[in-house]
Amino acid sequence: MKLEKGEISNAQLAVLTIAFLQAMTLTINFNYAITKQGTWLAVLAGFVLALPIAVLYTAIARRFPGQNLIQINDAVFGPYAGKLISILYIWFFIQLTIHYMFFFNSFWITYIMPETPRVAFLVMFAFVCAMAVWSGIEVIARCSYLFSAVVAVTIVTVAVLLVKEIEPGNLLPIVDFSLKDFVQSVHVILTVPFCDLVVFLMILPYTAQKQKIRKPVLIGVSLSAAQLLIVAVVSAAVMGQRILNTSSVSFAVPRLIDVADILTRLDILVAIMFLITVFMKISIFYYVTVLSLAQFLRLRAYRPLVVPIGVLCTAVAVRLYPSDLEQVYAATFVWPFNAAVYEILLPILTFAVILVRRLPKKEEAVSP
Amino acid sequence: MFGYIIKKIRFRKIRNENDAEQGRGAEGDLPAFSEDLEENLKALKLILGKSGDIVLRRFTFGYKNGAEAALLFIDGLVDKSLVHENIMKPLMLGAVPAKETSEGSGIAYIKSALLYVGDLRESASVREAVEGFLSGDTILLVNGSKEALIISLRGWQNRSIEEPLTESTVRGPRDGFTETLRVNTMLLRRKIRCPDLTFETVQIGVRTRTDVCIAYIDGLASPGLIEEIKKRLGRINTDAILESGYIEQFIEDAPFSIFSTVANSERPDKIAAKLLEGRAAILVDGTPFVLTVPTLFIESFQAAEDYYSRPYFASVIRLLRYLAFFISVLAPALYVAMATFHQELIPTPLLLTVASAHEGTPFPSVLEAGLMVIIFEILREAGVRLPRPVGSAVSIVGALVIGDAAVSAGLIGAPMVIVVAMTAVSSFVVPPQTDAGAIMRLSFLILAGMMGGYGIAIGLFAVFVHLASLRSFGTPYLSAVAPFSKRDMKDTFIRAPLWSMRKRPENIAAEDKVRQGTGLTPAPPEPEHQKPEA
Amino acid sequence: MRKFTWKALKIAACVLCMLSVSGCWNSRELNTLSIVMGVGIDKAEEAGEVRITAQVVRPGEIGSAQNGGQSSTGGDAFWNVKNTGLTVFSTIRDMTNQISRKLFFSHNRIIIFGKSLAEEGVHGEVDFFARDPEPRSNVYVLVAEGTAEEVLDTEAKLEKIPADKIADMVEGQTAAMSQSCKIKLSDFVLRLMSKTTAPIATMIEVTGEGEEAVPTICGTAVFKQDKLVGKLDKREGRGLLWVLGEVELSIIVVDGPDGSPVSLESIRSSGKITPELRDGKVVMKIKITEEGNVAEDTGTTPLNTTDALAFLEQQKTEAIRSEILAAFEKAKELDADIFGFGEALYQKYPNEWKDMEDQWDEIFPTIELELDIDAQLRLTGRINSPVTADEG
């Protein structure tokens, strides 16, 4: 029984990917502490490494058209091991939702409205995300058009307005970090933003043309990587050595915009841009969590789960980390390894098993 | 406990059945006509009651046999001179061969040879006759005939065709729909002389029996759309349909949303253009407002005049409309958010001015803004309802004195008055969204007062997600923006030149997507040979 | 229908509860804020304490449109709140004992350090302005010859608020004369954080007495690490600005062909530093490109000949060179790398820099300068020869 009755076209898939990955412009803050002004190199490297992984995801999806991740797990690993792996994935999705909620919450509260308690903030946000999830993937895809366009335009506009402040000398020296730092930075970039694409394995079955999904996804990844590159380069060029001392570069950079004394103080616009990107990301995570849980429990529809999962995630996200400091530490040192298991190892394992068992067998091409 | 639940369920079922029964109306079945004139007249009198405007004219005609006949019509609904000239005169003067009268086929002969009337039909059903009668037809009963003639000679006082008050343009035709269905269909026929233009009429409303007409261009509108409209109209089971708004509220896709998914207009050129794009129009007798489906959000920003002007100005004005809409919805909220939460966003000189204006005022900014918005809504409503002689006085009092006096008294800050005035004026730029805009304005204001810029952002998300989930008769409400359609972009935020809009909007027309050919860019003719200047 | 009304009632109840308990925690009405336009930080009499002077706007006196020009009640448009305490932030918050509204720093335009405080080190005081999100990083940093308090206490003659005037002066001075530096907090912090580059700030003093007291910009303050060590006068200051490429408009006075002073207006200039390591010595190649016009001739020789122009260009080049050298001499004397030579070296020779970084204090005075100055004169104004009857 098909859980999600909507369908998105391939163009919508590409735009959805872009909108989803645009949150990278915010999470890249974790990298500045490691690779300072050479972060853009790490971005490039991360992008190059992310492409084959994205291809891996689409390959898995193409082998089982119309089946989402939970169903694929059942088919690939067998009923018992498959269920176990599905549980692991569901656990990961919930973690993603909660972590991102907390991350964004702390970012906004620190810089814009320090006295507001986290709960009020999160509840309103979760409410809107719940609305989007309730309406289905089609609506989320439709929203992604406008949102991704707005974010892209904002990124370019901010970059253009900062041209005055750029000093190319700030980008030198290009390589000011050790190889170990570089590898760590690439690892962070790879797992935190790019490979979150693994959740798309739950969405890909609902596209219109199930075999041609590789191109839209790759286009989406490339375009968002380009935006991230712009952000990394401009931030480094403008901030110079101050990068080391700034706790949130993405927010400090637009504060420096000063065009003819009129266009000053635009940091709140950039903050709203981040709000948009994180909204998309959390909506999709939330949606995937609800959908996978419903699929796992073999429910007929996923809507009843929307509110309970939302309440649960909000409640946990309020007190996830005691302070900002632990969160940054976790994001830089702990999370990449946690995520790598689900985002890289498990899919590779899945695909290996697919190849070995030569799936799907002809009679196993089940209808969704 | 189970017994309690079962009783409740049974009670609900019975109650629902009774409700359905009620709506059907207490008519039952009516008999057919008999051959005896007296009997027929008695039956009709029973059904129609004793209103003073029903005219019953008995007369005899024919030389030799003197067949008795009766003419029934409603005074006021019928063009009486035509009745006299074209029905009574030929009957009374013309000769009916005896054969026809005695064999009871008089009606057929009368119909084919005697009456000078274009639109008539015969009917054996009393119900049909009564319905026609109440709509303004004339009933002719002849003794000895089982059938009655229903003759359409309707004529009543009509409002003349004049420019609609609510939608006037600088350039463009100045005709508008009126309250009579036939006049409206005439206006549409004059715009579209294509044989595919189809009108399908149904009658809705148990007691009002209002004529509702679905207009579409066969081959352009998708058959599924028409089917769906007919289905939804068929489902309506109500007492009265007094205005197209009633129909709209019964057939719309999202009754709980503040946005309307059915558009309406008073201008025939606008409706004709929408028909030509593949939409369907619903004309309702008794109102000049014609509905169109499916409706997109961007339609509210497209005015008829846009297409009669050249593209540059039309594009600028269209962008201005979007800006005005945003201002009208967001301006008070943005002002409150910036003044109470994000003071660092305001440039310093402006902040000092705003701060000094706010210095002596007793209310917090949210309350100030809320009060001003509510006062504005009151003024607007009063402006619509008041009788014309008093009109200018109220507007002057309202706008100038209240606003100015409030500022001088120190109750409201001057910037607030300016913001709300701007909001007020902008809200009229996009007429179809005025009511939705008013509700959104208040909600955003409350959100801004609670959480500042974050509240506004959350509100915008919620509105956008809601809009994205709306469908109007199958078409996504935000078509052209989401799902994105490159060719529709020519008519969304800008208005590309007419000669470049080759195809009809996506998602709406079924087949025949091409509107016009290629190579239509206007250009002066090539000079044939170089002629030296004399 | 009944189900719906029940649901609607429940939702309405939730919303009402939400609205009444939520407190709009961050909402601040405008009349609960006192907008700070300028901050002065001085050393207090007690050891280890600071004295803060905050110049706060009085919005009631600002509204010029309503009151028609000058403030109607005759009061100043500003008020200096003063307080003493251990740290900057605690002192500022403590001011709520004197002033009814919380101080709001987002529109602050200048930070003035008193001389005695600057000489003891400012990094502790700067921290608040860098860390808290409210103050912006584009405030101008100044050092007062005396105390910051007396600078802020002067009357405002042209504008309504002295802090505004001082900030506009800093900008205007750079835009028109470029003899003292103009530095924002973000750059100041950048310099503070660097191990080698010396922070600089605009120097301001109070000239005149009593009613006639006006704040005047008088030079560039030089810090080493975070302590004030010296001052560049106007000539040396401009020399510094030539190298940094921050000269906007400026007037250079040189001797004309007949010995009388000629004013040359500099319109555009840029400076580029290229470091080079040559035989273990650090050589800095500085290229200055400059363009200007003849603005004023107090002599009698007509200057619109190519010879005269070439002569003036030569004079100008000499003037620029001497200014830069003077600045460099002063910097060597104070042993403060105000030009940012260290950073330039780091960008080009990162490996060698690792060794040189710690000995920069010793290496700096040994740096050689190679100046390449390209000065041009373009226009000579409305008249061809000076307004005199003498010929030649």
Q: What is the pLDDT of residues A253-293, one digit of tens each?
A: 887 777 666 666 777 788 888 889 889 999 999 998 998 88
Is C105 strand, coil or helix?
coil
- Residue B10 within a domain: no
- Residue B200 within a domain: yes
Q: What is the pLDDT of residue B216?
A: 92
The answer to whether residues B96 and B61 touch, using CB atoms and an 8 Å cutoff, is: yes
Look up the pTM and report it. 0.84
Nearest by CB to residue C63, choosing from B344, B351, B353, is B353
Q: Do C62 and B365 touch (CB under 8 A)?
A: no
Q: Do C104 and B452 touch (CB under 8 A)?
A: no
Domain boundary among B260, B295, B330: B295
Which candidate in A108, A235, A255, A268 is best for mutational testing of the C interface (most C CBs within 10 A)? Answer: A255
Provide the domain limits for residue B40. 28-151
Q: What is the pLDDT of residue C70?
A: 43
Task: Give yes or no: residues B227 and B131 share one domain.
Answer: no
Q: Which residues of A touch B344 (CB under 8 A)?
A: 265
Q: Which of A66-80, B274-288, C14-28, C200-214 has the lowest mean pLDDT?
A: C14-28
- Residue B68 within a domain: yes
The answer to whether residues B184 and B178 touch, using CB atoms and an 8 Å cutoff, is: yes
Task: Burial-class residue B261 by CB neighbours within 10 Å (0-12, 13-18, 19+).
Answer: buried
The tokens for C162 are 């002295």
Cis ω for the linkage preceding A360 (within 30 of 0): yes
| Nearest CA-CA partner of A273 in A155, A161, A159 | A155
Q: What is the pLDDT of residue B20?
A: 56
Q: Would you identify the CATH topology of the domain A10-359?
A: Amino acid/polyamine transporter I (1.20.1740)
Q: What is the pLDDT of residue A364?
A: 46
- Residue B130 within a domain: yes
Q: Do B483 and A9 touch (CB under 8 A)?
A: yes
Position with higher pLDDT, A32 vs B440: B440
DSSP 8-state class, residue B165 = S
Work out the minimum CA distance from A127 to partner chain C, whole angstroms.
13
Nearest by CB to residue C107, choosing from B341, B348, B364, is B348
| Nearest CA-CA partner of C45 in C167, C152, C149, C172 | C149
Q: Which residues of B touch A141 (CB under 8 A)?
A: 482-483
Mean pLDDT, to the nearest integer, of A308-328?
A: 85
- Residue B289 within a domain: yes
pLDDT score of C71 more than 60: no
The tokens for A280 are 């998309």
**Measured CA angle at A82 (ends A81, A87), to 5 deg:** 100
Q: What is the pLDDT of residue B231?
A: 92
Task: Give yes or no: residues B289 and B324 share one domain.
Answer: no
How far from A109 is each of A106, A115, A121, A223, CA to CA, in Å?
5, 8, 8, 30
pLDDT (tens place) for every residue of chain B, 534 residues total: 677 777 877 877 777 776 655 544 434 556 777 778 888 888 888 888 888 888 888 888 765 566 788 888 898 888 889 888 888 888 877 766 655 555 555 677 777 777 888 888 888 888 888 888 888 888 888 877 788 888 888 888 888 888 888 888 888 899 999 999 999 999 999 999 989 999 999 989 888 889 999 999 988 888 889 999 999 999 998 999 999 999 999 998 888 888 989 999 999 999 999 998 889 999 999 999 999 988 989 888 888 888 888 888 889 999 999 999 999 999 999 999 888 888 888 888 888 888 888 887 888 888 888 988 898 888 888 878 887 777 777 777 777 778 888 888 888 888 888 898 889 889 888 888 888 899 999 999 988 888 888 889 999 999 999 998 888 888 888 888 877 777 777 788 888 888 787 778 877 766 667 777 777 777 787 777 655 665
Q: What is the pLDDT of residue A1?
A: 43
Task: Give yes or no: residues B412 and B374 share one domain.
Answer: yes
pLDDT score of C23 more than 60: no
Domain boundary among B469, B485, B509: B469
The tokens 């009668």 sit on which residue? B133
Task: Give yes or no: residues B458 and B343 share one domain.
Answer: yes
The tokens 């905050």 sit on which residue? C54
pLDDT score of A64 more than 80: yes
Distance CA B159, CA B266 (A): 14
Q: What is the pLDDT of residue B459?
A: 92
Which candidate in A171, A176, A241 is best for mutational testing of the C interface (most C CBs within 10 A)? Answer: A241
Distance CA B7, CA A36 (A): 73
| Annotated domain spans of chain A | 10-359
How far from A91 is each of A84, B234, B424, CA to CA, in Å?
11, 50, 51
Distance CA C143, CA C113 (A): 5
**A279 close contact with B: CB closer than 8 A:** yes
- The values of phi and psi at residue B238, to 5°, are -135, 175
Task: Give yes or no: residues B221 and B351 share one domain.
Answer: no
Task: Give yes or no: residues B133 and B48 share one domain.
Answer: yes
Q: What is the pLDDT of residue B444?
A: 93
Q: Do B453 and A272 touch (CB under 8 A)?
A: yes
The tokens 């789960």 sit on which residue? A305
The tokens for C72 are 């109607």
What is the total count of domains within chain B? 3
Domain boundary among B244, B266, B295: B295
| Annotated domain spans of chain C | 29-59+73-232, 234-392
First-to-last alpha carbon distance for chain C, in angstroms, is 105
Task: Give yes or no: residues B252 and B373 share one domain.
Answer: no
Cβ-proximal residues to A62 (8 Å cutoff; 6+ apart), any chain: A210, A211, A213, A214
Q: What is the pLDDT of residue B232?
A: 92
Mean pLDDT, to the nearest integer, of A144-170?
A: 85
Q: Residue B164, Cα to own-chain centre: how many angstroms? A: 13
Task: Give yes or no: residues B268 and B361 share one domain.
Answer: no
Which candidate in B465, B472, B489, B506 is best for mutational testing of the A interface (most A CBs within 10 A)? Answer: B465
Q: Is C234-392 a domain of CATH 3.30.390.10?
A: no
The answer to whether residues A290 and A93 touch, using CB atoms and an 8 Å cutoff, is: no
Mean pLDDT of chain A: 82
Task: Report residue C26's pLDDT band, with 50, 70 and 90 as the boundaries.
Answer: low
Please report, rounded to a whole number, the percentage of residues in chain A having pLDDT higher than 70.
Answer: 93
Q: Which residues of C touch B365 (CB under 8 A)?
A: 29-30
Which candidate in C29, C67, C102, C134 is best for mutational testing of the B interface (most B CBs within 10 A)? Answer: C29
| Nearest CA-CA partner of A101 in A265, A253, A318 | A318
**B417 close contact with C: CB closer than 8 A:** no
The answer to whether residues B357 and B415 touch, using CB atoms and an 8 Å cutoff, is: yes
pLDDT score of C67 more than 60: no
Cβ-based interface (< 8 Å): residues of C facing B:
19, 22, 24, 26-31, 33, 35, 37, 57, 59-63, 66, 104, 106-107, 109, 134, 136
pLDDT score of C66 more than 50: no
